[in-house]
Amino acid sequence: MRRATRVARVSVTVLVVVVVFVSLSTALIAALTPTPTFDEVRTGTPGSESTLLSRDGEPLQRLRVDMTRRQLEWTALESISPSLVGAVVAAEDHRFWWHFGFDPASGLSAFIDQFGNGRGRGASTITMQLAGLMTEGDRFGRRSFDEKVSQFRYAIALEHRWSKQQIAEAYLNLVPLRGELVGVRAASLGLFGHAPDALDEAESAVIAALVRSPSASRSVLARRACSVMNKIDKPEECTRAELVAATLPSHPLAMSGLDEAPHLARRLLTRAGTSVRSTLDAPLQRFAAETLRNRLASLADRNVEDGAVIVLDNASGDVLAYVGSSGDLSGAAAVDGAAALRQPGSTLKPFLYG
């Protein structure tokens, strides 16, 4: 009995020493590793699109400016389907909510796999992956030992300064998923045509499967999506997940958005992730566009195919409406008729007859 008590006391003492050592070590690592705040990352991550605003701040046009990636506005964790959060955690880091940035159990298992049977597998936690995304961009693949150590230190620092919810939110907004699609909002709209809060379990499993293999074939993706379903204890949904994976579009779907002043937006929006306030009056812009379409419809039998409208405030010189074409009615909707070169006589008409 005394021997058992002594062993128990020694065990508790060793456990306390280990906990204290780990706590002090991680605190020291965090103190020596600078990281940005969550708000700095959230506000400092530009999307690939920019927005044209009216004079009153109303969004009129969203235009893609960065053609190297498709990343939409930052999405808060509460606006992401819980099924997606659960699927990604199950697939990538099932002890995410409990570890301190590094999962010792997964690390040991990966070590045994690597040196025991020669089949290596990743042991990076979601926090470590986020550290890689924040310090090395979207470069995936094998990293050197020094890079792994740096990633580990950065992950420990993030865990000390950010909440788990903030880490999960940042990861889901920054992770590359399929081709040019970065983040869950772009993936959800580009692959399934709806926002991330509307993702069902099968769609969530497919996105979770994409995290590890963004360029996987549909057949490979289907198997991995089924594996995710098994990890979240929904094996009966495998068939549905496999069907979703097998029918993914070859190219991202058109992402519906604002389209009320495309021609002026192309002239003013040059930097990704920005909003530019114009002098346009939103109601007048819509009225001008609708008036142009109605007028062209009435002139259809006279071979009038397109037109443009500019409305100016003579006193200030502000452009109050700028419609470069009739849009869907035009055979060359992208051509800016308002800025096209005209003969001198046509140029003078607004001043002579306006």
Choice between 111 and 189, residue whose per-residue pLDDT is larger: 189
CATH number at 122 reads 1.10.3810.10
Q: What is the pLDDT of residues 306-326, one digit of tens each?
A: 899 999 999 999 999 999 998
Q: Are 63 and 50 in contact (CB under 8 A)?
A: yes
What DSSP string describes 144-186?
A: -HHHHHHHHHHHHHHHHHS-HHHHHHHHHHH-EEETTEESHHH
| pTM of the entire predicted model | 0.78
Greatest distance between any 2 Cα atoms in the chain: 110
pLDDT digits (tens, 9 = 90+) for 62-85: 998 888 889 999 999 999 999 999
| Claim to verify: residue 145 and residue 213 sit in the same structural domain | yes
Q: Same structural domain for residues 124 and 195?
A: yes
Is 20 inside a domain boundary? yes
Residue 309's beta-bridge partner residues? Answer: 323
The residue among 190, 240, 243 whose CA lies nearest residue 214 is: 190
With respect to residue 38, please indicate whether it lies within any of the assigned structural domains.
no
* Residues 199 and 240 placed together within one structural domain of the fold: yes
Let me know whether 24 and 92 are in one domain. no
195 assigned to some structural domain: yes
pLDDT above 90 covers what percent of the chain? 50
Number of separate domains in the chain = 3
Same domain, 100 and 227: yes
Residue 69 is assigned to a structural domain of this protein: no
42 lies in a domain? no
Q: Mean pLDDT lowest for which of 170-174, 199-203, 230-234, 339-343?
A: 339-343
Q: Are residues 19 and 149 in the same domain?
A: no
In a domain, 251, yes or no: no
Digit-coded pLDDT (tens) for 178-221: 989 999 999 999 999 999 999 999 999 999 999 988 989 999 99
- Tell me whether residue 263 is in a domain: no
Same domain, 125 and 211: yes
* Same-domain pairing of 175 and 96: yes
Verify that 327 and 226 share a domain, yes or no: no
Q: Is 188 found in the same domain as 87?
A: yes
Residues spanned by the domain of 347: 279-353
Name the nearest CA neighbour of 280 among 62, 63, 65, 57.
Answer: 57
Phi and psi based region of residue 317 (left: phi greater than 0; alpha: psi -120 to 50; beta: remaining): left
Is residue 152 located within the same domain as residue 300? no
Q: Is residue 224 part of a domain?
A: yes
